[in-house]
Each structure stands twice: as structure tokens, then as C-alpha cells.
Amino acid sequence: MRLLLDTHVALWTLTDDPRLTEDARTLILDPANEVCVSAVTLWEIAIKHGLGRAGAGAMPVSAHEAQVLFGAAGYLLIPITPEQAVIVETLPNIHADPFDRLLVAQGLTEALVLVTHDAVVASYNTRIIKI
């Protein structure tokens, strides 16, 4: 299975966050699965880390650090395509976050299973796994 980790799930894998469930860990560590992280995630980290947010919206690492750590973990980094950007416009307006909407579009166009902690994101499609 080809997995696409949303930003929080991807960061939780790097920081060994307890919010990453055992089921998610098993899925991500399964050698039969290809784990992908999007350029969208790096973009979101760059913006939010640059803002210096604290609390729930804080980014524990910079985008550059995340890129290096994702690569070291063996995650495939995938680009954003024009097709994916256009598909965002066709998605139902059930979630306002542009980063999450683009991740949903990538999952749909690239036959990826999006792994998220966000119940609203998970409601877009049955190929999205909520952890």
C-alpha cells in the first residue's frame, strides 16, 4: 500500500509522539508499505515554523530539518503537480485548510492512502485512514 502521511502524522513519526497510535506505527513500519510525505507538508512546516507558533500549532522542527529527517527515515518525498492544485477546487467544502485539501487531492490523483488524525479530512474519502 502507498501511504501519504499528513503533516501531524509525519511529524509524530519523527518525534515519537504518543498520539501516533500503535496501529499507525504498525502501518507505517510495515516494509510492504511505501511511505510518502508531500511537498505540501514541507510547505506547511516552513510557514508555521517561520511564524514561531507555540502550543498545538507549533512545528517542532524546521522544514529543512524535516526534509532531512523524512529522507533519513526512507520516506518518499513527492512534489505537487498542477493537476493536484486544480483538483482542490472540485473537492467538497467540508474543510477549509488549504494544506489538508491539497493532501486529499494528492491522495486521490496518486492512488495514495492518506493517513490523518483529522476526522474532517478523513470524511472526504474511504481511502483515507483516520488514526
Q: In CATH, what number is assigned to the domain containing residue 50?
A: 3.40.50.1010
Q: Which residues contact 59 (CB under 8 A, 6 or more apart)?
A: 11, 45, 48, 49, 53
pLDDT of residue 125: 83
Range of the domain at 118: 2-130
pLDDT of residue 59: 83
Question: What is the reported pLDDT for 86?
Answer: 96
Give pLDDT tens digits for 64-119: 999 999 999 999 999 999 999 999 999 999 988 999 999 999 999 999 999 999 99
Identify the residue whose cell numbers are 511511505.
35
Express each pLDDT in 3-16 by its tens digit.
999 999 999 999 88
Hey, how many other C-beta atoms are within 10 angstroms of the C-beta on 79? 9
Label residue 118 left, alpha or beta by phi (over 0 means left) and psi (-120 to 50 means alpha).
Answer: beta
- Retrieve residue 104's grid coordinates: 486529499
Of 101, 126, 114, 109, which Cα lies nearest the Cα of 36? 114
pLDDT of residue 74: 96
Assess whether pLDDT exceeds 90 at residue 55: no
The number of domains in the chain is 1
